[in-house]
Amino acid sequence: MRELTADQIRASMVNASEAEIERMTLPGLHETLWSEREYLGWRDPAGSPRGYIVHWVDDRPVGILLRAASSALRPGIGAMCSLCHTPQPSTQVVMFSAPRGGEAGRDGNSVGTYICHDLGCPAIIRMVPTTSELTLMRDEVIARRSAGLQQRLERFTANILRTA
């Protein structure tokens, strides 16, 4: 992923009001390993249900405001993130909704999907077992997972931007 500035992130938000953008607390951008990300994702550090994802679409950054559901999946069952496709305990996956962009979002239309609770999919897809056979193919495994994550994120974003 290409590096982003605070100004680029704020300007990229496609489904947030000016007030929501002003209240947005950004993560530590100076600490970000951009080469190990498909997107920049973070939760509001104040503990609100808000989360944010910013990624590059063609040649511009696109930011999405998300809201986590207040109820969780039943503990003790398995769940899968719809972005990274990683099976994990249900407590680590949550339903996020995102208002659609433009007038549709202002009218209350939204899109929902299950995503990793901490929006940490870029780190999760890089966790590869360390058996000797997989170590030789590690880069291939990560590249395949990365491509899938990017495709699913682009479809999710296109759905948010769709007006009808």
**H helix runs in 40-131, sequence order:** 102-106, 121-124
For residues 39 and 53, is the Cβ–Cβ distance under 8 A?
yes
pLDDT tens digits, one per residue of 54-76: 999 999 999 999 999 988 777 78
- 124 vs 2: CA distance, rounded Å: 19
Q: Which pLDDT tens digit goes with each residue over 66-103? A: 999 988 777 788 899 999 999 999 899 999 999 998 88
Answer yes or no: are the C-beta atoms of 115 and 156 closer than 8 Å.
no
Q: What residue segments make up the domains of the chain, in order of their start?
A: 6-161
